[in-house]
Structure 1
Amino acid sequence: MPKYFGTDGIRGIPFDFPLEPEFIKKIGYSIAKKLKKSRKSVFIARDTRESGEKITDLLAQGIVKHSIDVIDLGVITTPSFSYILSKNNVSFGIMVSASHNPPEFNGIKVLNHKGEKISEETEEEIEKIIDTTKNLDYGKANIKKLDLMGLYIDYVHSLFNGILKDKKIVVDCSNGASYKIAPEIFKKTGARFYLIGDKPNGKNINVGCGALETNKMREMVKEKNAFCGISYDGDSDRCIISDENGNIIDGDDVISFLSVCYKKNNLLNNNTVVLTHMSNYGVFEFLKTNGIKVLSVDVGDRNVSHTMDRNKAVIGGEPSGHIIIKKYLPTGDGIITSLEFLSCVIKSGIKVSDVKKIWRRFPSNLRSYRVSSKPDIKALKGFDKKIKEIEKEINGRIFIRYSGTEPVIRILIEADKDLDYLNKLSEEIFSFYLNLTQKSLSNKGSLKKYI
């Protein structure tokens, strides 16, 4: 297991460890040492966080020690960055972003020259270089700037030109990386769209808007009598959709609908869909009933992507709205996912709200609690046995994991029970977890709900 990299890059609060200035330089140096090829240039891009430019400069100071040119693509989305990397002859790319996290966070995501997330094994090799590299003298980096946003806009335009003609759509850019790209793309779809979250100031990314805070978008959908609404997260690798009534369409809904549409049109490669353990149990049952093979993996788009590659699957993703459609890109793309979904809805002649009627969702309670450390859950004596006893008692499913990007533990409970009951049960499970960790590690977590 990597010790600096989480499920999606290295994250933290600038400029505290692991995002201390000198350590960032060492990260840049180590990434370049591992991934440098005969190609003598690399791309760096970022979202709208105020710390992004400084982190870019610090990374560049480490990279140029290998006589590699650093080219800054500015503020663009992670998926567009992935596409641009795949079309240019560079060694690798670094996306400076903390995705859906609050503005006080930032992160470092590493992609290979094909635009793919690097493997866990590669991350571990980079970490070995970090740990064995002594302090170096870093000088000022000469960073070139280049605007390649149009490459991605033209690509998406070629896929979805005119599909939303005269449809009223609310588009929430989360004050993030999509604030320039999304409007240009939606112009080309023919939609009549209303923008929110399109005025970033470096401190407001994901604040009161975006894929985790959809209330403003959903209210505007009802106010404008719109066909639907879409909220992207900070780097636009995920989306959450609202139907015409202001009700949420999440990743499970999108995957369920697209999967049966693909199968009907002979587009579901290998008749296989990849989900994570966080998907609602009802999705698994629905897809199996429709004769679709379902593979379940640990949380993280990289796990989904690699499993899709091994099984030649065309679609996979998470309930968070992080969905990968391999025929378009090797990584999740909120913009492409939302347009593909709406294209299929329109071709099917239905309303967006009809999508929620095709499968039965099991009552679900997902809570996240802040913790001060992350001891191995499997090593907590009696914890696994207790969870299995509760699952049997409620005739349901419980899934517990640490976040790979935040200091929280997530508890997901699914059972045909009242939501108040599930909420209370979640807190009881967390209290039991705390008692065990305090005995073994003097853990000082609290019952405070984090997100």
Structure 2
Amino acid sequence: MTLIKSISGIRGTIGGHVGDNLTPIDAVKFAAAYGTWIKQQRQKENYKVVVGRDARISGKMIQNLVMNTLIGQGINVVNLGLSTTPTVEVAVPMEHADGGIILTASHNPKQWNALKLLNDKGEFLDGDDGAKILDIVEGDTMVFADVDNLGKITKNDAYFDLHIIEVLDLPLVNVKSIEESKFKVVVDGVNSSGGIAIPLLLERLGVHVVKLYCEPNGHFPHNPEPLKEHLTDISNKVVKERADFGIVVDPDVDRLAFIDENGDMFGEEYTLVACADYVLSRTPGNTVSNMSSTRALRDVTEKYGGKYEASAVGEVNVVKLMKKNNVVIGGEGNGGIIYPELHYGRDALVGVALFLSLLADKKMTVSQLRKTYPSYFMSKKKIELTPDLDVDKVLNAVEEHYRNEKLTTIDGVKIDFAESWVHLRKSNTEPIIRVYTEAKTQGEADTLANRIIAEITEIAKL
């Protein structure tokens, strides 16, 4: 099985051997390293960390280990219990906390879990801070409090409501228009915390909600990554219910995908495109997405006179470039919406509210809306890593082979052709090389991906 330690946190499969999997000892060590880092940031009387989790079967166990480790270091904990990644991000500054931890492995299957780490702004740690925590883990320099200085755990169940209030108070969220539109929407919450948060938001907006897999028991009814091949149930449900569209989120509710009224995918890449279209139409400005995201965002941004720029993959990289370029909206093509007016984190709740506002304004069906955007098609494939596969060697060989094309190497290798592109990079969350391509047709995108994979296979043999 697998344990992945990176600057963004620790992620692994439950059970097995210490150091090879996400065992209780690994969870405690990493939580203690984070707590040590928190206390190194500034000398003060009291420290506070917000902790929440998705509905994974292992969630309660990991959360109890993490919270009790922190109070053992004299750090007070605000326990949100079952929560979402963006809800914890919103809660950190509202609580005036020193940081936050979300227990979730995002789109990974149920055997996985992870500790995602936040700073005092409720944003993911940057590379420097993440590296410091890894050094603390390796150096085994964690210190714990004596018996008179232990921290305390306080439960707070209000943050779903508080998060929703923050979303509804945004000037661009047109609550009245959404209510008047009387939408009917099917929600697939993949039996995690999105099955609570998204219906609550929709009900506050006067939307008729049809729930599908909204029982937060951690038993994912399908692969939790919101891709077309995993979403046949909601596609059928939307058509059967004659709903206006369907909403799909991943287990920790930072990714968002839509199904149109015909049961077809709106396109996970086009979640950000549509939300950006709405925001830019009212507040023109710049946008950012990562290098593995569709060119359609660039096209929409330029239509409104703004500037588009691509960052390395990873939310922290997107946010850093968003701040530098003073963008009005950004995110990742995997359905991650980052709207700085609320906070600098991927947030499916704000994405839903912006999309509904756009739909109410346009007064058209979801399939009609999709046709208003430039059409690009993506292929998302992967190569499983083996111990004998030298990733750096492979990427260097690809770079050399395509040296006469437009190359970007800030994150793996991206090759921009005139009518298509391919991006190769080692995943931060799984032991794989991701192979993403985009072209004017699905066939061209798939052919390009398969050609590159065949080339990599040949390189690996050398």
Q: Could you say which TM-score interval applies, normalised by the shorter chain?
A: 0.7 to 0.9
Please say if residues 103 and 206 of structure 1, whose CA atoms lie closer than 8 Å, have aligned partners that are also in contact.
no
How far is 1:346 from its partner? 0.8
Show CA shifts across 1:40-59 (max 9, x none). Answer: 32221100111112212222
**Alpha-carbon distance in structure 1 between the residues aligned to 2:374 and 2:458:** 36
Task: Using the TM superposition, name which of 22-31 and 35-44 deviates more.
Answer: 35-44
Q: Distance in 2 between matches of 1:93 and 1:381?
A: 38
- Over 3 Å counting, the alpha-carbon distance change for 1:128 and 1:209 in structure 2 is closer
3-state SS of 2:81 partner? strand
**1:1-400 equivalence runs, <5 A:** 4-5=5-6, 8-16=8-16, 17=20, 19-36=22-39, 37=42, 38=44, 39-133=46-140, 143-149=153-159, 150-159=161-170, 161=175, 163-165=178-180, 166-202=182-218, 204-205=219-220, 207=222, 211-212=226-227, 213-265=230-282, 267-268=283-284, 271-373=285-387, 375-377=390-392, 380=395, 382-387=397-402, 396-400=420-424
The 1:364–1:387 alpha-carbon spacing in structure 2 relative to 1, beyond 3 Å, is farther
Q: Structure 1 residues 326, 22: CA separation in 2 closer, same or farther (over 3 Å shift)?
A: same
- How far has the Cα of 1:87 moved from its partner? 0.6
Distance 1:206 1:387 in 2: 42
Q: SS state of the match for residue 209, structure 2?
A: strand
Name the SS of the counterpart of 2:263 in structure 1.
coil
Asked whether the 8 Å contact 2:71–2:153 carries over to 1, the reply is: no
Q: Distance in 2 between matches of 1:164 and 1:209?
A: 30
Give me the CA root mean square deviation.
2.8
Structure 2 Cα separation of the partners of residues 117 and 393 of structure 1: 33
Rate the CA distance shift 1:191–1:207 in 2: closer, same or farther, 3 A.
same
Contact 1:394–1:415 at 8 Å: present in 2 too? no
CA deviation map 1:154-179 (0-9, x unaligned): 33344454524421111111111222
SS in 1 for 2:6: coil
Greater shift in the superposed pair: 381-390 or 354-363: 381-390
- Does structure 2 retain, via aligned residues, the 8 Å contact 1:287–1:293? yes
Kept in 2: contact 1:210–1:231 (CA 8 A)? no
- 1:235 CA drift (Å): 0.5
Match of 2:411 in 1: none
Which of 427, 437, 446 aligns to 1:423? It is 446
Given that residues 104 and 252 in structure 2 are in contact (C-alpha distance below 8 angstroms), is that contact kept between their aligned partners in structure 1? yes
User: How much does 1:241 deviate?
Assistant: 0.9
Amino acid across the alignment from 1:22 = I
> In 2 relative to 1, CA 438–57 (structure 1 residues): closer, same or farther, beyond 3 Å?
farther
User: How many angstroms apart in 1 are the aligned matches of 2:38 and 2:364?
Assistant: 47
Q: Which digits, 9 at most, give the CA deviation of each residue in 1:167-192, with x for residues without a partner?
A: 11111111112222222222111111
Deviation at 1:378, TM superposition (A): 6.1
Q: Does 1:412 align with 2:428?
A: no
Query: Is 2:287–2:328's contact at 8 Å kept on the other side of the alignment?
Result: yes
In structure 2, C-alpha distance between the alignment counterparts of 1:60 and 1:209, rounded to whole Å: 26
Please say if residues 166 and 342 of structure 2, whose CA atoms lie closer than 8 Å, have aligned partners that are also in contact.
Answer: no
State the alpha-carbon separation in 2 of the partners of residues 40 and 71 from structure 1: 11
Contact map agreement 1:197 1:210 (CA 8 A) in 2: no
> How far apart, in 1, do the equivalents of 2:417 and 2:211 lie?
47
Give SS of 1:320's match.
coil
What SS does structure 1 have at the residue aligned with 2:258? Answer: strand
Q: Is the 8 A contact 1:63 1:70 kept in 2?
A: yes
SS at match of 1:235: coil
* Pairwise CA distance, 1:222: 1.2
- Counterpart contact for 2:54–2:103, Cα < 8 Å: yes
The 8 Å contact of residues 109 and 224 in structure 2, kept in 1 or not, is answered as: no
User: Which blocks of at least 5 consecutive residues in structure 2 are unaligned?
Assistant: 406-414
The question of whether the paired residues in 2 share the 8 Å contact of 1:400 and 1:412 is answered with: yes
Distance of aligned partners of 1:211 and 1:181 in 2 relative to their CA distance in 1, 3 Å threshold: same
Please say which of residues 247-256 and 140-149 is displaced more in the overlay.
140-149
Q: Distance in 2 between matches of 1:427 and 1:128?
A: 39
Q: Secondary structure at the match of 2:5?
A: coil
Q: How far is 1:290 from its partner? A: 4.3
- Aligned residues between the structures: 431
Instruction: Give the deviation of 1:280 after TM superposition.
Output: 2.2
Q: Distance in 2 between matches of 1:135 and 1:85?
A: 23
2:5 maps to amino acid: Y
Question: What's the CA shift for 1:432?
Answer: 2.9
TM-score by length of 2: 0.84
* Percent pairwise identity: 25
Contact kept in structure 1, 2:276 and 2:330, CA below 8 Å? no
The one-letter code matched in structure 1 to 2:213 is G
The Cα offsets for residues 362-398 of structure 1, whole Å up to 9 and x where unpaired, read as: 3432212221357444665532233457979985322
Deviates more, 1:389-398 or 1:39-48: 389-398
CA contact (8 A) 1:176 1:198 kept: yes
TM-score, length basis structure 1: 0.86
Note if contact 1:111-1:117 (Cα within 8 Å) is conserved in structure 2: yes
| Residue type of the alignment partner of 2:27 | I
